[in-house]
Amino acid sequence: MTFLFDIGRVLLDFDFETSLVTLLPHGTPDPAARLDRLLARKDDLESGAIQADDYIDWALGVLGSDASRSQFRAAWQHIFTPNPPMWECVRKLAADGHRLILFSNTNAIHCPWLFGAYPEFSLFQAAVLSFATGHIKPQPEIYQHALISQELVPNSTLYIDDLPENILVGRQFGFHCWQYDLNDHPSFEKWLASFDLCDSHFGLRM
């Protein structure tokens, strides 16, 4: 069987604000508003509409920061915390021979750095990442790209994401979908157990 995994708040939790605030000079006015403005343009970075260095230069200006590009990259990258129960599940699925694919909105500052920082990403055989495709979830184009490039069979594909709007489009493409709650992993395990993953024809347990 094939599994599509989102990264953020599924495999890894994240907190941009706590890390990025360290780039602000002491006494900077309206720090929350500056961070909000920064993150409001994150979709441009994640869709590949703006290059990483251009985004970094713009972001440092918004922050009023004299940090270097390297310092910004480090702050932007070190926002993640692994989700251990989901990684345990990933290891089991990989050991059982299932096909695992990353399907995530992300950017050129996080990737490929992320794969070196967390070597267990090597358990995934492929990745469909927003900045590389020119589209972000929930735009249908990135789902269509995943469907064609990975030769997915929708009824044999399980898709896990934390955002309802992404799940909605996944269902429209015929995937079996689960909206993941980082604080309720047991419910995901219960949903997963409802499938007969040993059956080559795949389906729900009756």
Q: What is the pLDDT of residues 65-122, one digit of tens each?
A: 999 999 999 999 999 999 999 999 999 999 999 999 999 999 999 999 999 999 999 9
87 and 129 in one domain?
yes
Q: How many domains does the chain have?
A: 2
- Flag whether 201 is in a domain: no
| CATH number of 162's domain | 3.40.50.1000
Range of the domain at 56: 15-77
100 and 8 in one domain?
yes
Of 45 and 205, more confident: 45
Mean pLDDT rounded to a whole number for the chain:
95
Q: What's the CA gap between 81 and 134, in Å, rounded?
A: 27
What mean pLDDT comes out for the span 165-186? Answer: 98
What mean pLDDT comes out for the span 159-177? Answer: 98
- Flag whether 198 is in a domain: no
- Domain closes at, from 77, 97, 113: 77
In which band, very low, low, confident or very high, does the pLDDT at 199 lie, cut at 50, 70 and 90? low
% of the chain with per-residue pLDDT over 70: 96
**Residue 154 to residues 10, 105, 130, 170, 198, Cα–Cα distance (Å):** 21, 20, 20, 9, 17
65 and 108 in one domain?
no
Amino acid 198: pLDDT: 67
172 and 86 in one domain?
yes
